[in-house]
Structure 1
């Protein structure tokens, strides 16, 4: 039956709409299983009942007419039990219910399996036979397997169908993806359609080869100008590292090997559009076939470049549509160049059906302070052009045609953000001090020079995490020691005399370098962070030397080691840092030995905090990875991202233990994960006693306003209350209620998502 299973799933995937999907299922399952009846019941979202939506073997007039509540009849029992029901004689079962309209009194054998997607029973798949017999294990296994395979397809088809008629019904629809850039945007969808499709260029020959070559070179020149202009339009928004993305686009067009490949094909009398399409599609396929996520993300950039040049080859002009005052760009694969084409004053959000939090467009969105969600795979984006939509960059959610209640909730968040922005200057000059006089240091997480101005404007007192891998990610080779020194010097100078905590190179896991590929079956448990740099001391030493050289005359550098899982790694790294320091002193550099700290990100470090704290100058908790490892959840995987919850009781108990033991060893303890940038989370961290909260600059005013509105003594009572609770949802509700009680309800963003 495996071949039949594959065949059915392939047919379903190719179906044009939900009715076609259901018709394929009932027809093919009846054929494969040799049953008299196959039927599908689907949940009606409004009533919660399950409706007969397709059948082969029952009366067709019953379709759409038979409604069953959960628990009603055999089908309703499949729903409530969330498991198959296999009966030899259906009418003998106490839950059996006869519906005259179906004509099913002729059938005795019954097998029903639930169709479940994300823990929700979407429907029930039923087969029936006239004779009394129990379906065997193989038949039951086939139907269960098929139901599991079909669940995602039906969920997507339902969503597509709902949105296809949304103009008349205006039904609210929600889709989940990956949070790529924080913030909330409420606006109108502007669909970015592919400018030209490389895959549909027909084969054609050319007679005048020289004219075709000239056309090709003109198209390249036009595309270069177009991209350069797009980069110039964003010049005020971006700094050197972000602008390098546009330079990378142009350098690809300048790549001689690429042009030579195309010209060679043109000289073989292949038309310029066809030659260009062939070459670019080969490059796209190479990138898409790679296991490395960074490489795969580059395929979108190559495809976008290919489409741009193809338009010029066809002598087409880009369509210039009017943009609304609150434009939210949505496309299958957004790119940085596409983002740059929208007037900045009109662009308020971005959504990409494909892509990850590390794609170029996500990096640019964060640099621009633009709410963004990536990887919304179930979104039928083609059907929602012009629709009203909410982009929740905190949760990674989209709400199409939000209802009044939902819109009110998000309007309050947007209003609160605007109010905070208006009070920015006032807040920036005030300390993060509670009403009863307890002071907390609010630092920022940075990675691009664009973060610096925003951070200082918002009153950042230092940098708790400078991600040194970002300059590495934006290059096609390891930057030299001098190149690194220049980059680090900019950061240190910009924040001086405030402290800047530079994390040593943290690659692997979800961060891969194109020129240093790491292929592993389980990268998050593999060769990453300090493990890579200790294995490559030449990379580590060059980076640490560059950091120390950059700190000459400033002395505000702190060095932090990622992914420390035991004392041995800290000691080995310290020896290398001390060696680099001695070398530089011998070379005549007048520098102080910087403090050396560690990140607590893996469970083993939690249980060795005392030993680590005694040997480190400071400790900083990377709560994002620590939460991920404690809960065994890859938060970049949309299938399980909902399980990731920063307010999970296990996470909170671990965080309290870390700061308690660290302080017992007289070591300062900070935290630089997303929990620190959430107002509710910040209150709990304040109560635990964390010395430093480091966050994205966007969240700093919100957290500062929250801390200044509370008494530390009251937050300690709140902490004791939540530490006695057993469910993350319960903890989140308690924190929300507390913020509402003190008049800060709009400040709370969902820390657990």
Structure 2
């Protein structure tokens, strides 16, 4: 389905809804960095060089903005990469090589930049010096930026834009983690799955999102008005005046429903027959804590620590991690904060981990497996966590557990970290330690695991994927993916029962925790805690308060 550009020409597309909501606003097309470069003959070499120099200036301005933002958010050391890129852009050898190629071969600036970038990148990559080898990726990055600016595909500054509907082919976790969440009205992607990171993020942010929308990205222009309707599963581009009015009325209606839910604030999360349930929130970074507090969650049941690793060019230091965890604990002021140790791999790829290509990354080298194989990475995180525990009510949980031996290995590494902190006289506190139950293996040995740890948190997203043998990122399998499958519900019951036999508590931190159709079933099973997207806290509380045991 191709959309031809005509003024006031409404186009409607059907997609699959991953969060029910409705939004009206301008479109911003999020393009990947892979602009196709063609070799073209030119007649005016000096004109091309002038275009190239304009693109250099535009790139410098973008890099300066990125540097300023990064300094505020992640500190000077992590922001330094943008300074390096600015210096490389100004390099005379690099610029001379581009200009010479334009003049000598009479080719367009895009082609000259792409070829020169490749040549310099290969030269750096073949050097013996580690520092120079690392510059290879940087030179490709700045060449890509230049080509984008030359071809009119300049990256949209997500911080300067007005609140908009983000339209993309698909979005990776490292792309979404860099976006300013306050500026996003909704997501629309051509590909993706209902269980993808984008879908989880949309549910966390309480914004409408559609996947599988057959729209031609090149046919859209930034600033076009559009409607994302998560209830009907439609994406309407250039809506008529009548559709705009109807949408505004429905948005007002939704706002009113949200207003009624606000009455749940300050209420206890307790069933009609008096059973107290803990209702926590899932978050992806310290900045999400405002939403946790605003939605009146009792604590944080899943803090995805990998946000510290995504979208960076090197491992976060112990101090960076310590400061982030400490800040989260201080902001939560004594409320429980459960931090999951890094869960990199599968759909969360990070270049500097050098994980390599895997045929089946969801079942590959990820999460606790990386930590046990590369204990130095793990120890840095554990040191930061134990030190931060002094500042609040911290619990730590370990993902992707499949055996009691893994737990023993983890505890041995924790003991090493404690000994190091003791020897250095650094203050720390031992947090409560739990494991995530997200593999069928962990379910089947949950009676043994319960004797070793303080609590269980059931990660239903991966548990469903592994139990049903369905890749949750594969959109073709969405019709086979049944999160309400009897096998999943029986597993949850089994885990809760085994935890209780040992006097331990068991919660759910996967997406299923926020499934309002299952709240009663979870209460009947005796689930002690539910951790959900901040936007779902009040809805789940309402359901829990209406439940009574038969």
Cα shift at 1:563: 0.5
Instruction: Name stretches of at least 5 consecutive residues in structure 1 with no aligned partner.
Output: 1-159, 285-297, 718-753
Answer yes or no: is the 8 Å Cα contact 1:213–1:263 preserved in 2.
no
Answer yes or no: is the 8 Å Cα contact 1:277–1:310 preserved in 2.
no
SS at match of 1:520: coil
Per the alignment, residue 704 of structure 1 pairs with 541
Residue deviations 1:240-263, cap 9 Å, x none?
Answer: 269999997776555459985454
Answer yes or no: is the 8 Å Cα contact 1:541–1:576 preserved in 2.
yes
Structure 1 residue 476 and structure 2 residue 313: aligned?
yes
Cα shift at 1:560: 0.7
Per the alignment, residue 549 of structure 1 pairs with 387
Cα shift at 1:309: 2.3
CA distance in 2, matches of 1:473, 1:249: 16
Per the alignment, residue 582 of structure 1 pairs with 419
Q: 1:220 aligns with which of 31, 56, 71?
A: 56
Residue deviations 1:425-484, cap 9 Å, x none?
Answer: 643322222233222111111221221111111112111111111111121111222222
TM-score (norm 1): 0.58
CA distance in 2, matches of 1:587, 1:342: 39
Change (3 A) 1:363 1:657: closer
Change (3 A) 1:472 1:639: same
Per the alignment, residue 439 of structure 1 pairs with 276
Change (3 A) 1:244 1:443: farther
Change (3 A) 1:499 1:251: farther
Change (3 A) 1:255 1:167: closer
Answer yes or no: is the 8 Å Cα contact 1:481–1:545 preserved in 2.
yes
CA distance in 2, matches of 1:426, 1:283: 61
SS at match of 1:651: helix
Per the alignment, residue 35 of structure 1 pairs with none
Cα shift at 1:348: 2.1
Per the alignment, residue 9 of structure 1 pairs with none
CA distance in 1, matches of 2:469, 2:271: 35
CA distance in 2, matches of 1:282, 1:330: 34
SS at match of 1:510: coil
Worse-matched range after superposition: 648-657 or 252-261: 252-261
Q: 1:689 aligns with which of 510, 516, 526?
A: 526
CA distance in 2, matches of 1:459, 1:239: 28
SS at match of 1:639: helix
Per the alignment, residue 533 of structure 1 pairs with 371
Change (3 A) 1:593 1:379: same
Answer yes or no: is the 8 Å Cα contact 2:281–2:302 preserved in 1.
yes
Structure 1 residue 521 and structure 2 residue 359: aligned?
yes
Per the alignment, residue 564 of structure 1 pairs with 401
Cα shift at 1:329: 4.0
Cα shift at 1:654: 1.1
Per the alignment, residue 310 of structure 1 pairs with 150
Change (3 A) 1:266 1:382: closer
CA distance in 2, matches of 1:548, 1:421: 39
Per the alignment, residue 348 of structure 2 pairs with 511
Structure 1 residue 451 and structure 2 residue 288: aligned?
yes
TM-score (norm 2): 0.77
Instruction: Name stretches of at least 5 consecutive residues in structure 2 with no aligned partner.
Output: 122-137
Per the alignment, residue 97 of structure 2 pairs with 264
SS at match of 2:518: helix
Change (3 A) 1:414 1:632: farther
Cα shift at 1:361: 8.4
Cα shift at 1:609: 0.8
Per the alignment, residue 679 of structure 1 pairs with 516
Q: 1:462 aligns with which of 299, 303, 312?
A: 299
Cα shift at 1:328: 3.2
CA distance in 2, matches of 1:310, 1:255: 18
Structure 1 residue 599 and structure 2 residue 439: aligned?
no
Equivalent residues in 2 for 1:158-197, closer than 5 Å: 160=1, 173-176=13-16, 179=18, 182-187=19-24, 190=27, 192=29
CA distance in 1, matches of 2:226, 2:448: 54
CA RMSD after TM alignment? 5.0
Residue deviations 1:131-153, cap 9 Å, x none?
Answer: xxxxxxxxxxxxxxxxxxxxxxx
CA distance in 2, matches of 1:489, 1:676: 27
CA distance in 2, matches of 1:624, 1:589: 38
Change (3 A) 1:359 1:305: farther
Worse-matched range after superposition: 562-571 or 364-373: 364-373
Alignment length (residue pairs):
519
Residue deviations 1:296-336, cap 9 Å, x none?
Answer: xx9x9989834552168x9x9x9xxxx9x995343457899
CA distance in 2, matches of 1:468, 1:439: 28
Cα shift at 1:683: 3.1
Tell which structure's C-alpha radius of gyration is larger: 1
Per the alignment, residue 133 of structure 2 pairs with none
Worse-matched range after superposition: 253-262 or 692-701: 253-262
CA distance in 1, matches of 2:118, 2:195: 23
